[in-house]
Amino acid sequence: MQTVAVIDYGMGNLHSVAKALEHVGAGRVLVSSDAKVIREADRVVFPGVGAIRDCMAEIRRLGFDQLVREVSVDRPFLGICVGMQALLEHSEENGGVDCLGLFPGQVRFFGKDLAEAGEPLKVPHMGWNEVVQSVDHPLWHNIPNRGRFYFVHSYYVEAGNPKQVVGRGHYGKDFVAALADGPRFAVQFHPEKSHTHGLQLLQNFAAWDGRW
């Protein structure tokens, strides 16, 4: 049976992610802060919620910055929400925070004056929204284009390499909903909270060989 490690660095909806992976039959799911366990896993999930400065501080304190670089190059790797943002180069949040730099690009604030057709929009962007699949990726298997997923975020990814953008959303402005590069796949939404489509994505991740 394959193992899926959910990285525990104290910042993430870990058990909801683990339960969703177990629900789709992903294999033996381990929520762990043990680098050895994570290194030995067949697949790795990197969730995250909260402030990016706190997330990055814990990631570096635990030595998980190097660990994430290591385990995301030779097996399927899924970043979720702030776990996705942490993979970028830099975030505007908290006055500016350097991130892991595994994807080129920046994390930007939606802004206080966000609007659509003259109507103000609330920040954070919270709730269901469509995701346009800009690339035919294995993790989109059996998920319709413009399928709806659940988002909670005040900051959004501005990709440095458009070829890595595999999903887009819109909330006052276009934003990156999913990035991919080799065995790395990262999403701004929460698949564990996204019902049928989110569970399908996790099932696809459990079956994916890391190639596309």
- The verdict on whether 15 is a catalytic residue reads no
> Which is the catalytic residue, given 81, 99, 125, 197?
81
Instruction: Measure Cα distances from 8 to 12, 32, 44, 55, 165 in Å.
Output: 8, 5, 11, 11, 26
- The verdict on whether 125 is a catalytic residue reads no
> Which is the catalytic residue, given 125, 153, 190, 197?
190
Residue 101's nearest CA partner among 43, 58, 152, 60 is 60
Tell me how far apart the terminal alpha carbons of the chain are, to the nearest angstrom: 23
In this structure, what token pair is assigned to residue 108? 């930007």
Give the dihedral of Cα atoms 191, 173, 108, 150; nearest 10 deg: -20
- The verdict on whether 58 is a catalytic residue reads no
> Which is the catalytic residue, given 55, 93, 99, 192?
192
Residue 179's nearest CA partner among 94, 91, 69, 78 is 78
Residues contacting 34, CB < 8 A, separation 6+: none
Q: How far apart are CA 167 and CA 95, in angstroms?
A: 27
Catalytic residue ranges:
81, 190, 192
